[in-house]
């Protein structure tokens, strides 16, 4: 797999994960009376997305094993 393709896959995976987590969280915060309590989870979610981004970056930058 080309290194460029790994970066594209990593960015796409991160974007999908971010939308899958942030969109429902924002909807619940906005529409439920108890949603304001979910604001306590927001820093944890952001931290998790940052960690996921670092892991995906490491995967995208990893050199493939030499062939032969």
- What is the overall mean pLDDT for the chain? 92
Q: Compute the average pLDDT of residues 12-35.
A: 95
- First-to-final CA distance of the chain: 16
Pair 36, 19: CB distance under 8 Å:
no
Task: Kindly report the pTM of this predicted structure.
Answer: 0.84
Answer yes or no: is pLDDT of 68 > 70.
no
pLDDT of residue 3: 64
Q: Compute the average pLDDT of residues 38-61.
A: 96
Rg, Å, the chain Cα set = 16
Answer yes or no: is pLDDT of 34 > 70.
yes
């Amino acid at each position: 797999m080309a290194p460029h393709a790994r970066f594209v896959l990593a960015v796409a995976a991160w974007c999908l994960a971010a939308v899958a987590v942030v969109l429902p969280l924002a909807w619940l915060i906005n529409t439920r009376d108890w949603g304001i309590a979910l604001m306590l989870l927001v820093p944890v979610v952001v931290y998790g997305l940052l960690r996921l981004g670092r892991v995906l970056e490491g995967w995208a930058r990893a050199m493939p094993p030499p062939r032969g």
